[in-house]
Amino acid sequence: MSEVNMIKCACADCVCVLPVSSALERNGKMFCGKSCAEGHNAGNGCGHVGCECHG
Ligand SMILES: [Zn+2]
Ligand SMILES: [Zn+2]
Ligand SMILES: [Zn+2]
């Protein structure tokens, strides 16, 4: 049995699910990457395949 906990990125538009160990924490929420963690304030998506989030 695996100990890997999978979580969904806290970004509302993001569909990414990733292991907790590789998530990026920001303000107590877990994100898949820097773009999501910063609310896409640079206008870029998370860059993950199949995900179209841009904040
Ligand atoms: Zn995403
Ligand atoms: Zn994300
Ligand atoms: Zn996002």
- All structural domains of the chain with their residue ranges: 6-37
**Residue-level pLDDT, tens digit, the chain, 55 residues:** 667 899 999 999 999 999 999 999 999 999 999 999 999 999 999 999 999 998 6
**Can you give the pTM of this predicted structure?**
0.86
**Distance from Cα 26 to the centre of ligand 2, integer Å:** 12
Spatial contact of 26 and 35, defined as CB atoms under 8 Å apart: no
CA 5 to centroid of ligand 2, rounded, Å: 16
Cα 20 to middle of ligand 2, angstroms: 13
What is the number of the ligand closest to the CA of 44? 3
pLDDT at 9: 97
CA distance 6 to 21: 9
Torsion angle, CA of 18/22/23/27, rounded to 10 degrees? 160
Distance of CA 15 from the midpoint of ligand 3 (Å): 8
